[in-house]
Amino acid sequence: MGQDYVVASLFSLFTIFAGLGGSLALSIPRDPESSLQPRQEACENTPTSRHYWGEFNTDTNYYAVTPDTGGPPKEFWLSVVEGPYAPDSYNRTCMTFNGTIPGPTIIADWGDEVIIYVTNNMASNGTSIHWHGLRMLDNTLNDGVPGTMTYRFRATYLQYAKGLFGGMILRGPTTADYDEDLGYVARLGAPPIMYNGLINGTNSFDYSNEDDAKYVGGGKKFEVVFEPGKKYLLRLVNVTVDGVFQFSIDGHNLQVVAYDLVPIVLYTIDSVQVAIGQRYDVINRNAGDITGIVRYDAGSTADPETESGVELSTSCLGESPEKTVLYLSFDVTNFGGGVIFKGKSLFLTEYNVVPVEAILVIQDISNLRLTYPIYLHGHDFWVLAAETGLFDGDTTRFNTANPSRRDTATLPGNGYLAIAFRLDNPGAWLVHCHIAWHASQGLALEFVESQEAIQSDDGSVRVFNDTCASWLEWTSIWEREDSGI
């Protein structure tokens, strides 16, 4: 398949280009309702003023306004390679960016322009890059496709099972103050049974069969040194393919200030449950598990004894929607017009609705006893309800008073998940289970939103069609083994 080149450029929050041979620098779709705004030179964002970001702050309507930093682009180079790695003492074949697990973290300020070059050096694997959590506003062609592709998008707002993933941090105002940003803390695992997990790509593994040649030793727990009296921002990311984690630090409380790129009114808790694909920003408040070590003395090397752990919730529903309050300073209009379940007035007349031949509602949930992390491309959504049992059409239980908003939510076992989102991003968008092999087996669907309003230019369509043709030709020699998602 040769080499894949991905070039990214971030104007709003992010914008990505990928290259196809001598790739084209095509125009970037611009949101007509948003605008780039000059940002003052002195960015006021200190340990005691995290609410501010220059002349902007957490009250800024980031759906409509984006700072213009005016500086040169920030460039990153990523190489996709495959080889043997032993992040927890046990050797296995992994896919990596730049030979590390996780890959390098892409860090940019709100409004920066960023260029990312990605080269695929794997001999027998194609890959596509999906920028999880970014809306791809008016840019559905670049949400992630297989093969060599020119990605280009503005972020208004992975073969990862074997290690091919990395973090992306967009720095901006926060709803609570902190002293230092520790970056993201990635929690990893791999199928079919997760015997161990990693924190930021490392852990120790007590393997009983040390005669196994793949057991090479050398694994260690993730460590970070805290300075007494300081507050640290931790960005939690669950990048497993099948595993929900309960994150806690012995003797500390956590302030939750954001999830899935959505700022919220902070609340304090002793642990956070992170489902697959979810992200949380938390701030530490004071001085059989996958564990790391927090040290207040950089010279200390002894492993501490863990105190009593937190009680693990078996419902796997994540944080209660009633507990999380969105941080919004602008007016939010409640839904109007109503919805009639299984009725004829499902859509308001002013919406551009693509007609379908039938609506299929499956109410037999006897075989759906697992919980599923559901991820929506192209949007974040309001979580109106997440309950066990059949959905009987009663919407009076829905939470419509500033409900939780995110892009990944948990569908309860033997239950239902009710979500709502604004139809403001024309495109073809995928919604799927974030358990990797569930999506691979077909637990996914695609919906077409405002088809006539989908924006594209001749160059983009040509590159897209050429990419699909090249991918189909390259994959024709391989036996198909999944749904292709």
- Which helix H or strand E contains 470, and what residues bound it? helix 458-475
Instruction: State the virtual CA torsion across 103, 86, 183, 276 in degrees, nearest 10.
Output: 80
One-letter-per-residue 3-state SS of 290-332: CCCEEECCCCCCCCCCCCCCCCCCCCCCCCCCCCCEECCCCCC
Q: Please tell me if the domain spanning 5-170 has the same topology as the one spanning 180-326.
A: yes
Pairing of strands 74-85, 405-406: unpaired
Cβ burial of 401 (10 Å; 0-12, 13-18, 19+) is exposed
Distance CA 124, CA 320 (A): 43
Are 246 and 114 within 8 A, CB to CB?
no
For the chain, which residues make up each domain, given as ranges? 5-170, 180-326, 331-454
Farthest CA pair distance, the chain:
69
Cβ burial of 58 (10 Å; 0-12, 13-18, 19+) is buried
- Report the CATH superfamily, name and number, of domain 5-170: Cupredoxins -  blue copper proteins (2.60.40.420)
> Cβ contacts of residue 12 below 8 Å, gap of 6+?
31, 34, 36, 66, 111, 154, 155, 156, 157
Architecture of the domain spanning 331-454: Sandwich (2.60)
> Cβ contacts of residue 17 below 8 Å, gap of 6+?
6, 7, 8, 9, 23, 25, 26, 115, 150, 151, 152
Handedness of CA 459, 464, 467, 469 (dihedral sign): negative
Distance CA 134, CA 276 (A): 16
> Cβ contacts of residue 444 below 8 Å, gap of 6+?
430, 431, 432, 433, 483, 485
User: What is the residue-level pLDDT of the chain in tens, covering all 485 positions?
Assistant: 333 333 322 222 222 222 222 222 222 233 333 344 444 454 577 887 877 777 887 777 777 777 777 777 778 787 888 877 776 666 777 788 888 777 787 777 777 776 777 777 877 777 777 777 777 777 777 676 555 554 554 434 433 333 344 555 555 666 667 677 666 555 544 444 455 566 655 555 665 555 666 665 566 676 777 787 788 888 888 877 677 788 888 878 888 888 877 788 888 888 888 888 788 888 886 554 456 777 777 777 777 776 655 665 555 455 555 556 655 554 444 444 444 444 444 444 444 444 444 444 556 556 657 788 898 988 888 999 988 888 888 888 899 888 888 888 988 888 888 888 888 888 888 888 888 777 777 788 888 888 888 877 677 778 778 877 877 887 787 776 666 66
Say how many C-beta atoms besides its own lie within 10 A of residue 25's C-beta: 12
Give φ, ψ of 160 to 5 degrees.
-80, -10
111 phi-psi bin (left φ>0, alpha ψ -120 to 50, beta other): left
Handedness of CA 458, 464, 470, 473 (dihedral sign): negative
> Cβ contacts of residue 288 below 8 Å, gap of 6+?
none
Question: How far from 153 is each of 13, 132, 145, CA to CA, in Å?
Answer: 10, 13, 13
Distance CA 362, CA 360 (A): 6
Are 381 and 447 within 8 A, CB to CB?
no
Query: Among residues 215, 181, 213, 218, which one has the least CA distance to residue 202?
Result: 218
Distance CA 380, CA 89 (A): 38
Class of the CATH domain delimited by 180-326:
mainly beta
One-letter amino acid at 405 equals R
